[in-house]
A and B are shown apart, each in its own frame.
Chain A
Amino acid sequence: MEKGFARVWRKTGTRLTLLYLLLLLVGRMNGEAGVAPPGKPRLINCRSPEKETFTCWWEPGSSGGLPTSYTLFYRKENSDVVYECPDYITAGDNSCFFDKNHTSIWVNYNITVVAQNALGNASSDPMDVDVMNIVQPHHPENVTVTLMQGENLYLQVKWQPPRMADTRSGWITLTYELLVKREEDDEWEEYFAGLQKQYQLFSPHPGETYMVKVRCKPDHGYWSEWSATAYVDVPDYLPRERSVWMLLAVFSAFVFLIFMWVLALKKNRVKHCLLPPVPGPKIKGFDSCLLKMEKSEEIFNGLIGLGFRPPSDSGDLLVDYLEVSESIQSESRHSLSPNGKDQVKDSVADHSGGHLCDVPAILAEKCNKEMEAQGDVQTEESLETVGHLAGNDNHTPNPSAASSNQPCVQESPYHVPEESKQGLDPVTWDNDELSSYRGNAPVHGKSHFNSEYVTERWQGCLQVTKPTEYVEVQKVNQENTLILKPKAEEEMEDFLQLGLRGQDYSKVSELVNDHILLLERGSTTPNTYCGSLGSPVQQQPKQTLCQGPNGYVETFTVQSSSY
């Protein structure tokens, strides 16, 4: 039993020892036990803050578990002498500081770092360094921001170059850059200050805090770190101005409101002032209602019917009355004698009022209103126009011996053709109350009021306002007779239908003796004159004159032929 035990015991012990040795061996081979040559270090960079000294840093490799020392060696370009780093301490761990005595510029340094421990050493890759290329200054110092009161408020930022940099002699040239930010802003604003050591920030926002920091850069080197941030509080210096502006704004708004209110009250007057009403056409007899209805016939009729109005007191007036005198034979004379009476006045005056549109109700109302409103105006106008017409003496009188051959004056109030300008021989009636009128020559075409007067002469124009029952004088034959025709026969004669809504028509009161027409004034309705006077030739059978309900003369058959 015991033998067995011992035997087992011995076996395990051996195995354990073997195992231990094995582990030891492995551990040694791996070096994890801490002994190995050092790993290769790496030179990071070198920097010179003022072009007078410089520092190099390296990164150590693995230490190999043993205390490792690092040595920096360098060679200058024009010699083979190898020097060691003069100062490992000043710049901190793993660094080498070259002081002024050991620093040359415009000279290439070949630098190497060697790591060494008990087991071996390791050398880094060499690095070539020229001081002129590695300049990176320290940050500017004493950055201050102050509020300055000039004409306006502004911020003055001042700083000083890093302590060691010799900018006074020009050995190192530094340019500066600022970052400015308001406390609540997210982004910094960049300002480049060049060579100067102060900077102005104008128009700072009132009531805010500003943060400023500065950095510098040598002419051919690297930017420095940012300096410490400087703060400044800007007081509120604007509120007074602001309140003045607010007061002004409120006041002007108030004034504006009042102005608008007044404007609204006086809207009509303003409207009348700014947009004066456009005067309507003053064509006598022109009926806008008709225009709307697009009854051009009637429009023209109305226009043509404009008058011939005897002028008031013009001595130059031509004859404007048609005198129908009794002349049984063909010698009826139609002499126009200037009566100079405004007997048509009334008829004229009532013209506009007496006329009604056959228009749809809507328009009718409007038309009526307008008519009423303009009635007075139109009256005056029409009177004038009539007078104007009557007063034409431009007309070279037709040298016809027979004054009866003179054509009627045309209807247009503004222009009267030559030939027709001469007044007609007045047709005088026996009645003293003869109204005068001026005959109208037939017009060619409805649209040509002012032109193309028919040279047909006739005396005494007859018109009937009632569209259906006009009697018109067709012509005057040689014997100075009126030849009347009913309107229906117009077409045959290529006659212009005259829309004679005469304002100046006399109203026939009665037919006397079958050959005398009695005219009376006072009727606003155009009259028709029917009947041939003294004309044996003419007959107008089947035509009668009659008075319509409006005072119009309507045709009826004339029976006599004994004229």
Chain B
Amino acid sequence: MGLGFESHLGCLATDWRPVLGVSPSPPALRPVLLGRLRFPVTPYETSGSEDVLLLSLFVHCHCVDFGDLMDRAVQLSDKVHFLSTSLKSDLDYHLPAVGKKIPHLSLCHTSPLKTPMDKNQVLSLSESELLSLVQSLLLSWTDALLLLSSEASSLPHPSTSTIQVKAKQLRENSDTLGTGLSRLAHKMGSSSSSYIPLRYTENSLGGDDDSRLVNFHFLLSCFRRDSHKIDNFLKILRCRANKQKPDMC
């Protein structure tokens, strides 16, 4: 079991460092800088994510509220799922027949990750477990989303430009969310979980146009489901972090 939330509520660790490109310093030196946690501000913007500047005064432990951080994460995940739904409907609108040809979603590459399948199972998980589950899901999808984004331009579909834009946004937001969550988890000190990310190993969607379309659609459907899981888990986490504010749930 990872560390419970109770030990982390209200105050996180104080040495924030820029998220990207900085390796952790040795424990003896803990410079305090303004940290940047890459979370967007609003959920449904279609523009790129924005940096959220987080301040922390190291000595007095005036930290960013964990609940606020979770709120930021939720906004991102909500946006990601919204984008995936929108992208799928765009695909279906012009080529509905393709959607019927896709294989079962049990064949998604993330299926081996045993995720809970009903409410009770989900609620029985601890915060750290939930968090690590979310992380592993996200990590599993980084490569696949990269592929989707790159293949979107050459997709034989009428509205390629829209698809391309959305796929790109999808990838970017997911990356941001993944990075932010990893920092969050690191600060929380959660132990490595039993959830091991399963990377997507294919390099292309297929040879001919038809199979490419079908595979694109299939990947997207898999991601859509997984993004819903991520979103749901994070919302549960947010609710738990904001016990004092029932209006946040």
B64 within 8 A of A: no
Given contacts A77-B105, A108-B105, A195-B249, contact A171 B78 (CB under 8 A): no
Interchain CA distance A171-B115 in the complex, whole Å: 15
Interchain CA distance A171-B124 in the complex, whole Å: 12
Interface size class, chain A? 20 to 34
Which residues of B, 53-85, contact A by the 8 Å Cβ criterion?
Answer: 78, 81-82, 85
Interchain CA distance A106-B105 in the complex, whole Å: 10
Query: Using Cβ atoms and an 8 Å threshold, which residues of chain B touch A170?
Result: 235-240, 249
A197 within 8 A of B: yes
Beta-carbon contact of A195 and B248 below 8 Å: yes
Given contacts A78-B106, A132-B225, A169-B123, contact A105 B239 (CB under 8 A): no
Beta-carbon contact of A130 and B249 below 8 Å: no
A168 within 8 A of B: yes
Q: Which of A106, A167, A196 lies at the interface centre, i.e. has the most chain B CB atoms within 10 A of its CB?
A: A106
A504 within 8 A of B: no
Beta-carbon contact of B119 and A51 below 8 Å: yes
Interchain CA distance A153-B26 in the complex, whole Å: 60
Beta-carbon contact of A171 and B228 below 8 Å: no
Q: Which of B105, B106, B119 contacts A166 (CB 8 A)?
A: B119
Which residues of B, 214-244, contact A by the 8 Å Cβ criterion?
Answer: 225, 228-229, 231-232, 235-240
Q: Which of B82, B106, B123, B247 contacts A171 (CB 8 A)?
A: B123
Beta-carbon contact of B236 and A169 below 8 Å: yes
Beta-carbon contact of A105 and B117 below 8 Å: yes
Output the least CB separation between A127 and chain B (Å). Answer: 12
Which residues of B, 23-49, contact A by the 8 Å Cβ criterion?
Answer: none
Query: Using Cβ atoms and an 8 Å threshold, which residues of chain B touch A195?
Result: 247-249
Beta-carbon contact of B82 and A106 below 8 Å: no
Interchain CA distance A103-B238 in the complex, whole Å: 25
Given contacts A100-B118, A103-B118, A132-B228, contact A219 B246 (CB under 8 A): no
Output the least CB separation between A307 and chain B (Å). Answer: 91
Given contacts A51-B119, A195-B248, contact A220 B235 (CB under 8 A): no
Query: Using Cβ atoms and an 8 Å threshold, which residues of chain B touch A108?
Result: 104-106
Interchain CA distance A104-B122 in the complex, whole Å: 11
Which residues of A, 61-84, contact B by the 8 Å Cβ criterion?
Answer: 77-78
Beta-carbon contact of B104 and A106 below 8 Å: no
Q: Which of A52, A103, A167 contacts B249 (CB 8 A)?
A: A167
Query: Using Cβ atoms and an 8 Å threshold, which residues of chain A touch B229?
Result: 106
Which residues of A, 451-466, contact B by the 8 Å Cβ criterion?
Answer: none
Interchain CA distance A167-B249 in the complex, whole Å: 6
Beta-carbon contact of B119 and A173 below 8 Å: no
The residue of chain B having its C-beta at the shortest distance from the C-beta of A171 within the complex is B119
Q: Which of A130, A171, A195, A197 lies at the interface centre, i.e. has the most chain B CB atoms within 10 A of its CB?
A: A171
| Chain A window 104-121, contacts with chain B (Cβ cutoff 8 Å), 1 for yes, 0 for no | 111110000000000000
Beta-carbon contact of B247 and A196 below 8 Å: yes
Output the least CB separation between B238 and chain A (Å). Answer: 6
Query: Using Cβ atoms and an 8 Å threshold, which residues of chain A touch B81?
Result: 220
| Beyond A51-B119, A105-B118, 6 extra complex contacts between A and B, CB < 8 Å | A52-B119, A77-B106, A106-B228, A170-B235, A170-B239, A220-B82
Footprint of A on B, CB under 8 Å? 78, 81-82, 85, 104-106, 111, 115, 117-119, 122-123, 225, 228-229, 231-232, 235-240, 246-249
